[in-house]
Each structure stands twice: as structure tokens, then as C-alpha cells.
């Protein structure tokens, strides 16, 4: 059957299968959106005066490290297909669009001494067109792509970079703040501090257990400075937050409860505890373990930096709502407890992580479809941090290329049911859900091999043709009605469309 016909059929069944009373509907003000990030979709990496970012440099210098040896010089070329992408957003019927601004496109030198007219023009057009289409912009200020000029100064290990981030933030607030109501300072500091300074991502530093913590420390400082800048010095019209990420950490056995909670504190609490807990500062378990291991490794001081009392105070409460990216779940068991000679985040955290092979797989090695983990992480945040309002800024799944993405429909449907239960039954205060991603994009070290889009991008075509997958029809129906189709309708469709 032709894909277009399937999609129409899909819509008919989803829209009419089941009465309103049988359907699960989200609260009245709940919002649905989709997400992307600049480096992953824009292309135009050196258009006009755009500066080089660490991801430009890294993928150019090390094509062999990217799974399919590609780079994001062109990617989905959203820079030149902006209006087309807004059409897709309208077609989906989402209420907001989460995208990121490329620091080096707005400030080509990385510093606020030069503001790019073309860079500002691009984001002005994007924001204006979104608003004209009735779609709210939710802007991520930093999604992994530090200007290379600042990396040359040490990147996030240099405390001065926090000041340069604040300067950048000021430019963004002054330039776009009259129309943007939602700001996210950083996307996933856990992931980029760990993978960029002790893993395989840009900038490719191999200093886990050292630079990872310096990075986290300066990110937290930059976040607090920016929050206060927004609320105290700007004509703030909206809200500001940070997006933290974690897959659910489930204890493998009853005896592993401590290990599982330690993993949650090292991964999520690292950034959430200073911001959301009553006492502030790093989670006690991180402080205690890293101090102790540092001593045993013969360092004169802890590898985990120390906040001044003023910094602890200024970090507390610096979100208006908390952003959560979550995709999957892991089973956690207690680690070997040895003190490694070479420090590392993993040794400090001291757990083993694995996934249950019976959980449905995706096209990403780390991502299995575990909806109950989604409900659990939402409840854990509620219990641990005194019920803060939450916006799910990313959740999604990868497939191989192709339009019949039945596994994506199952994933989204399962996760939305779990989310609905968390909101309605468990009373977790979740205000919005953002699917990752609108279109296929450059999946960092996996290149173009993993597809997360509701719309497929044909990278071989001259105009980077976008085509809706079945999941686009599914998600559009949910975003427009705020209700989930009946399970029977979804099963019927799955069986007929496989």
C-alpha cells in the first residue's frame, strides 16, 4: 500500500477509533512539541561569517571516529529549508518547537565583541515565522557546540568560559527576548561533560574524573549566572531552565538499591542537587566518594571542585521548571569497589550498568523501549526534589531508514501512556512533552546511521527531501487532540501496517 494512503488510513483509525471517554486525554494546558539542535540539522557550517565550533573541528579532523565517516557540514540543511521545516511543524500541529542556537553563528569569534548580522537574521526569521505559525519557540542556548575559539582557551574547564557564556546569553536575551518565552541554558551537561572530556565526543579530551568535574562545575556556575541575569537584569517575559538527562536507573536486585540511587545521584543529582535540593551543593554521596577516592589516590585535594557558600546560595532554585531528557532504562548493580590508579567518573560512581535483552531494541545500542522506566524517573524526580514542575524536553527512539516506523509508533504510544499515568495517577507535575526529533539529523558519533525523525530526510536528494513517517501521523493526532488513541486502535494499526 502506498505510504500516503497508509497515513490517511492511520489518521482515520486514530481519530475515530474509540469514544472520547475511552481515550486517555492529557490535562487542558498540557503542551506537545518536537525538538532539534543546531549542529545536527542546520548545515551551512561556514556560511557567511559563522565561526567554527568544536564539532566542526572534531568531525573534520577525525572523520575516522564518526561511525559512517560523515560530518554535519550540510546535514538536513535546515538553514536553507527553514520555511519547509516550519511547514512540517504546522502539519504536525505541535504547540512549540525546541531548537538550539549555534553560539558560533551568532558570535563568530565566540566573544560578544562581534555579532553576526547574518546569524541574527537567520534566527530572527525562524522565531518570527514560528510565531506567525502559532508555534512557540523554546530555545536551547547551548547544545554541545562550543565555539572552537573558546575551546582553545580550555573550553569548559576554564572558569572564564562561564563569563563568556553569560555575555552570549545577554546578546540572546537582548536580541530575541522580546519574542522568546522559554529558554534552556544547557542541554545535557552530564553527557557532554562526560563524553567530551572523558569519552569520544568533541572536543575529544580524555580526562574522565578530572576535566569532567571541572566542566560540570563551570556549567553550573554559568547556568546560575545566566538565570540571575535573566531574572534580575533583563525584561524577562518567560521562563528559564536547564535540561538534565538520565535513563531510568533500576536496581538489578534488592541488594543493589544503594548502587542504583548512587548512579542517579552521580548522573542526575550532579546537576539537580545544587539547583533543586533544599541544602544545595553537590550530592553528599558524590562529595564523599570523590573526596575519599582522591585521598586514596594520593591527591592533595578532591578532584571534585568546591563551591563557595555564595555559589551554593546563588545556584539554589535557579530553574522555573526543570527540563528532562530521557530515553531508556538500565539495570544497576554494585561495582567492584577497587580504587583505580587512573581516576575516572566510572570508578567514582562504582556501578555496573546493563540492559535486559528482552526489552525491545532500537537502532541505537544504548536505547531500548522501556516505558515503565519513564514513569519511574518522573516519580523519582517528584519525590527527590519536592515535586518541581517538569517539561520533558526530549524523548524518542531511533530506527533504520524507512517510512514504516511501527516500532517508533509503539515507543511513543507506550511512553505517552506512562506519562499520562505519571501525571494523572501519580500526580507528577509535567507540563509538556517534546519528541526527539522533528526530522532525521546528524547523530553525533553515529553520523547519519541512526534515524530519530518523525520525518525522514533523504540525504542523497538535492533538496534533502523530507517525508513523513507513520509516526508523524500518530504524533500529529496526539498533538492536535491531546488524547491518545485507544490501545485497540493502535494494535489494529500495528497489525495491519507491519
d(Cα 402, Cα 287) in Å, to the nearest integer?
47
| Cell 524536553 sits on residue | 393
Interior CA angle at 479 toward 249 and 363, to 5°?
45
What's the min distance (Å) between Cβ of 123 and ligand BGC? Answer: 19
What is the DSSP code string of 430-465?
A: EEEEEEE-SB----GGGTTSSB--SEEE-TTSTT--
394 has catalytic annotation: yes
CB of 48 to ligand BGC, least distance (A): 25
Residues 6+ apart with CB under 8 A from 406: 470, 494, 497, 498
Tell me whether residue 435 or residue 452 sits nearer to ligand BGC (CB atom).
452
Cβ proximity to ligand BGC: between 326 and 477 the closer is 326
Q: Is 401 within 8 Å of 451 (Cβ atoms)? A: yes
CA distances from 160 to 175, 183, 239 (A): 23, 22, 25
* C-alpha R_g of the chain: 22
Phi, psi for 25 (deg, rounded to 5): -115, 145
Measured from the CB atom, the residue of 211 and 245 that comes closer to ligand BGC is 245
Give me the residues that bind ligand BGC (CB under 6 A), please: 37, 40, 187-188, 191, 245, 325, 394, 436, 443, 452
Q: Which of 187, 195, 188 is nearest to 211 (CA)?
A: 195
Query: In the complex with ligand BGC, which residue's Cβ is closer, 250 or 443?
Result: 443
What is the nearest approach in angstroms of ligand BGC to the Cβ of residue 367? 7
- Name the residue nearer to ligand BGC (CB basis): 26 or 197: 197
Of 42, 211, 311, 394, the active-site residue reads: 394
In a 13 Å sphere around the CA of 362, the CA atoms on its Cβ side amount to: 25
Please give the positions annotated as active site. Answer: 394
Amino acid at each position: 500500500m502506498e505510504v500516503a494512503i497508509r497515513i490517511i488510513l492511520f489518521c482515520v483509525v486514530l481519530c475515530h477509533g474509540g469514544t472520547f471517554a475511552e481515550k486517555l486525554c492529557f490535562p487542558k494546558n498540557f503542551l506537545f512539541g518536537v525538538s532539534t539542535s543546531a549542529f545536527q540539522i542546520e548545515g551551512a557550517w561556514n556560511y557567511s561569517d559563522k565561526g567554527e565550533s568544536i564539532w566542526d573541528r572534531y568531525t573534520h579532523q577525525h572523520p575516522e571516529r564518526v561511525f559512517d565517516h560523515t560530518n554535519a557540514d550540510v546535514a538536513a540543511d535546515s538553514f536553507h529549508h527553514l520555511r519547509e521545516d516550519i511547514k512540517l511543524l504546522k502539519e504536525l500541529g505541535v504547540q512549540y518547537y525546541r531548537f538550539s542556537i549555534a553560539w558560533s553563528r551568532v558570535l563568530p569569534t565566540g566573544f560578544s565583541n562581534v555579532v553576526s548580522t547574518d546569524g541574527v537574521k537567520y534566527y530572527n526569521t525562524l522565531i518570527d515565522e514560528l510565531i506567525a505559525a502559532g508555534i512557540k519557540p523554546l530555545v536551547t542556548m547551548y547544545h554541545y557546540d562550543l565555539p572552537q575559539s573558546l575551546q582553545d582557551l580550555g573550553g569548559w574547564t576554564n572558569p572564564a568560559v562561564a563569563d563568556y557564556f553569560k555575555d552570549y546569553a545577554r546578546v540572546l536575551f537582548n536580541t530575541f527576548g522580546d519574542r522568546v518565552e522559554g529558554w534552556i541554558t544547557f542541554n545535557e551537561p552530564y553527557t557532554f561533560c562526560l563524553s567530551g572530556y572523558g569519552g569520544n565526543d568533541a572536543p575529544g579530551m580524555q580526562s574522565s574524573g578530572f576535566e569532567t568535574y571541572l566542566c560540570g562545575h563551570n556549567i553550573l556556575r554559568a547556568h546560575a549566572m545566566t538565570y540571575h541575569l535573566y531574572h534580575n537584569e533583563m525584561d524577562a517575559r518567560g521562563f528559564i531552565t536547564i535540561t538534565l538527562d538520565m535513563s531510568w536507573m533500576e536496581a538489578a536486585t534488592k541488594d543493589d538499591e544503594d548502587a542504583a540511587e548512587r548512579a542517579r545521584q552521580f548522573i542526575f543529582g550532579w546537576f539537580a542537587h545544587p539547583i533543586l535540593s533544599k541544602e544545595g551543593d553537590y550530592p553528599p554521596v558524590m562529595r564523599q566518594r570523590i573526596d575519599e577516592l582522591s585521598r586514596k589516590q594520593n591527591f592533595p585535594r578532591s578532584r571534585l571542585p568546591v563551591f563557595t557558600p555564595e555559589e551554593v546560595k546563588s545556584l539554589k532554585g535557579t530553574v522555573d521548571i526543570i527540563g528532562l531528557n530521557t530515553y531508556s532504562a538500565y539495570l544497576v548493580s554494585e561495582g567492584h569497589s577497587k580504587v583505580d590508579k587512573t581516576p575516572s567518573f566510572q570508578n567514582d560512581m562504582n556501578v555496573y550498568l546493563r540492559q535486559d535483552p528482552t526489552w525491545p531494541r532500537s537502532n541505537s545500542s544504548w536505547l531500548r523501549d522501556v516505558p515503565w522506566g519513564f514513569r519511574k524517573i518522573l516519580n523519582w524526580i517528584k519525590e527527590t526534589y519536592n515535586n518541581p514542575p517538569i517539561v520533558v524536553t526530549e524523548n524518542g527512539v531511533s530506527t533504520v531508514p524507512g517510512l514504516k516506523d511501527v516500532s517508533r509508533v509503539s515507543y511513543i504510544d507506550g511512553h505517552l501512556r506512562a506519562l499520562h499515568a505519571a501525571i494523572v495517577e501519580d500526580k507528577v507535575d509535567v507540563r509538556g512533552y517534546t519528541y526527539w526529533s522533528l526530522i532525521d539529523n546528524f547523530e553525533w558519533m553515529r553520523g547519519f546511521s541512526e534515524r530519530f525523525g518523525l520525518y525522514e530526510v533523504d540525504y542523497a536528494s538535492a533538496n534533502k527531501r523530507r517525508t513523513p513517517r507513520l509516526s508523524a501521523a500518530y504524533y500529529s493526532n496526539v498533538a492536535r487532540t491531546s488524547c491518545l488513541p485507544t490501545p485497540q486502535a493502535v494494535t489494529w494499526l500495528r497489525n495491519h501496517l507491519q
